[in-house]
Amino acid sequence: MGAYCDEDLPLPVYSAGAPTNEFRFSKHVYDNVHGNINLDPLCLKFIDTEQFQRLRDLKQLGVTNMVYPGAVHSRFEHSLGVYCLAGETVEKLKKFQGAELDIDAYDIQTVRLAGLLHDVGHGPFSHMFEREFLPKVRGDCEWSHESMSVKMIDHIVDTHHIEIDDQMLKRAKDMILASTEFSELRSNAEKRFLYDIVANGRNGIDVDKFDYLVRDSRACGLGCNFQFQRLTETMRVMDNEICYRAKEYRNVHKLFATRADLHRTVYTHPKVKAIELMMVDAMVKANDFLGISSLIDDPSQYWKLDDTIIKTIEIAPNKELAEAREIILRIRRRQLYQFCNEYAVPKDKIDHFKPVTAKDIICSQKHTSLTLKEEDIAVTNVKIDLARGRENPLECIKFFKDYESEEKFVIPEERERVSHLLPTTYQDMIVRVYAKKPELVEAVSEAFENFQMRTYGIKAQVHATPEKKKRRVMM
């Protein structure tokens, strides 16, 4: 992101009860994805806080830049991008259906605010913090970055005495939670369609995905043939729900296919997962001394936690952090956990799939001179889907034929008329196994193969473990 420009533009602040002639200064910033983004005065009050500026120190893709060097963009950039797209989306609805939908400046301000603040509660290293680290140190802790975002927003308002209408703040927070919760309040909201723009729990099409799909693809040097502009130009609200032209069916499918492809080739890349596994181990070993997990209960302390935790561990002289420091040193020297092999769970077994653990692999080891221990093995169960698990996400999306139509419908009821190339299975489950020491690769690989034979009666992995990797020893 560029710095704020010197030129200040007057723009009214929209809040309940505010005089229409109240003007403050807005600013604009240049974004390498969306171009110039105008920042309205109310949102600037949130941006210019230490809690929001923290997002500059959170990489959007966590440790992925250690495999894709260009993936160094931050949650700060992404949040401004979602703010921009959220505002543009609701303004387009106002342009084409404003009178019908009664969209006003108050609604636009609320949606923008939700877009800006939707990730303010994110932890270090992207989703790894809440999905991998916290379950190991807090058990079944019901914590999410969305819920922390809501707490952080309240903390920012209270700490910086930001004047904002209570109802606007509540609606913005509900919009952030709309991807994980579908309360009766939101389902019966007068303008329910506004809650689908930033984080859409109804069908998964939202500006959060629009931004990160394009931004992540560009940062990693990958192409992105999904065109979100076509969807925002042709969308229409029908019965309090955002619907799309039927001719955009394939473009909608590209949205979910692009997401799945990024998960397969970037987010869950075998090397990326190896580094994530090591980072989790380092943070777990450092947790008791640094009290990392204890910070998630208090927004006034949590905002101090970001990706720099790795440097804190790395340079600390304390003997209590020796094991954690050693793991980080291995990452720096590229002495990573060794990927042994993987297999895709047969599609007829996915419904009853139970996550594989290191213990499962140990129990499959045959009698050899080398006895493996659970701490020698790392297992990751990778789920890749089209955003709705084993369900077809397109079955949740409503389409219309043309702008004269009054009827909305679901296309998959007639999917044979659309294409025979659309998928019939919507989720992959991939089991990957790593050896934490190079000299254990052969033993771990053989135990993994034995596990597959015990579980499925066949060796399900696609390729054999390379002999050179099996023979590798620590120098």
73, 145, 253, 263: which is the annotated catalytic residue? 145
Model confidence band, residue 412 (pLDDT cutoffs 50, 70, 90): low
- Based on the residue annotation, tell me whether 145 is a catalytic residue of this protein: yes
Mean pLDDT of the chain: 88
Residue 417 scores a pLDDT above 60: no
pLDDT tens digits for range 341-357: 999 998 888 888 999 99
Structure tokens at 284: 């777990």
Q: Which of 6, 303, 24, 3 is nearest to 162 (CA)?
A: 24
Kindly compute the dihedral angle of the four CA atoms of residues 257, 87, 146, 183, in this order, to the nearest 10 degrees: -90
Residue 269 scores a pLDDT above 70: yes
| pLDDT the model gives residue 471 | 61
| pLDDT the model gives residue 168 | 97
How far is C-alpha 300 from the geometric centre of its chain's CA atoms?
24
Of 15-29, 90-104, 119-133, 451-465, give the lowest mean pLDDT range.
Answer: 15-29
| pLDDT the model gives residue 219 | 96
Which residues are CB-neighbours of 391 under 8 A, at least 6 positions away? 426
Which residues are CB-neighbours of 231 under 8 A, at least 6 positions away? 205, 244, 248, 251, 252, 255
Model confidence band, residue 12 (pLDDT cutoffs 50, 70, 90): very low
Domain extent listing, the chain: 9-270, 338-390+425-475
List Cα–Cα distances, 1 to 35, 127, 297, in angstroms. 10, 22, 31
Total-model pTM: 0.89
| pLDDT the model gives residue 201 | 87
| pLDDT the model gives residue 418 | 52
Q: Which of 160, 208, 191 is nearest to 42 (CA)?
A: 160
Give the span between the Cα atoms of 76 and 87, in whole angstroms: 17
How far is C-alpha 46 from the geometric centre of its chain's CA atoms?
22
Query: Angle at Cα 198 formed by Cα 151 and Cα 99, nearest 5°?
Result: 120
9-270 shares its CATH topology with 338-390+425-475: no
Q: Which of 138, 149, 148 is nearest to 114 (CA)?
A: 149
Longest dimension (CA), the chain: 82
**CATH code for 338-390+425-475?**
3.30.70.2760
3-state secondary structure the chain: CCCCCCCCEEEECCCCCCCCCCEEEEEEEEECCCEEEEECHHHHHHHCCHHHHHHHHCECCHHHHHCCCCCCCEHHHHHHHHHHHHHHHHHHHHHHHHHHHCCCHHHHHHHHHHHHHCCCCCCCCCCHHHHHHHHHHHCCCCCCHHHHHHHHHHHHHHHHCCCCCHHHHHHHHHHHHCCCCCCHHHHCCCCHHHHHCCCCCCCCCCHHHHHHHHHHHHHCCCCCCCCHHHHHHHCEEECCEEEEEHHHHHHHHHHHHHHHHHHHHHHCCHHHHHHHHHHHHHHHHHHHHHCCHHHHHCHHHHCCCCCCHHHHHHHCCCHHHHHHHHHHHHHHCCCCCEEEEEEECCCCCHHHCCCCCHHHHHCCCCCCCCCCCHHHEEEEEEEEECCCCCCCHHHHCCEECCCCCCCCECHHHHHHHCCCCCCCCCEEEEEEEEECCHHHHHHHHHHHHHHHHHHHCCCCCCCCCCHHHHCCCCC
Amino acid identity at 82: V
Give the span between the Cα atoms of 358 and 444, in whole angstroms: 10
Structure tokens at 271: 């090397």
List, in sequence order, every residue forming a beta bridge with 434; answer none if it has no partner: 339, 378
384-416 burial, b if ≥16 CB within 10 A, otherwise e?
bbbbbeeebbbebbbbbeeeeeeebeebbeebe
List Cα–Cα distances, 241 to 114, 210, 397, in angstroms. 18, 18, 10
Residue 11 scores a pLDDT above 90: no
Place of tokens 């210019």: 48
Q: Are strands 399-400 and 377-385 parallel, antiparallel or unpaired?
A: unpaired
Of 28-42, 43-57, 85-99, 385-399, give the lowest mean pLDDT range.
Answer: 385-399
pLDDT tens digits for range 305-330: 999 999 999 999 999 999 999 999 99
pLDDT tens digits for range 393-410: 888 899 999 888 889 999
Average pLDDT over residues 95-123: 95
Model confidence band, residue 210 (pLDDT cutoffs 50, 70, 90): very high
| pLDDT the model gives residue 186 | 54
| CATH architecture of residue range(s) 9-270 | Orthogonal Bundle (1.10)
User: pLDDT above 70 covers what percent of the chain?
Assistant: 87
More confident residue, 421 or 264: 264
Cβ atoms 198, 175 nearer than 8 A? yes
Give the span between the Cα atoms of 347 and 460, in whole angstroms: 12
| pLDDT the model gives residue 4 | 45
Residue 103 scores a pLDDT above 60: yes
Give the span between the Cα atoms of 305 and 58, in whole angstroms: 9
Phi, psi of 12 (to 5 degrees): -70, 150
Which residues are CB-neighbours of 278 under 8 A, at least 6 positions away? 327, 328, 330, 331, 336, 337
Model confidence band, residue 466 (pLDDT cutoffs 50, 70, 90): low
| pLDDT the model gives residue 333 | 97
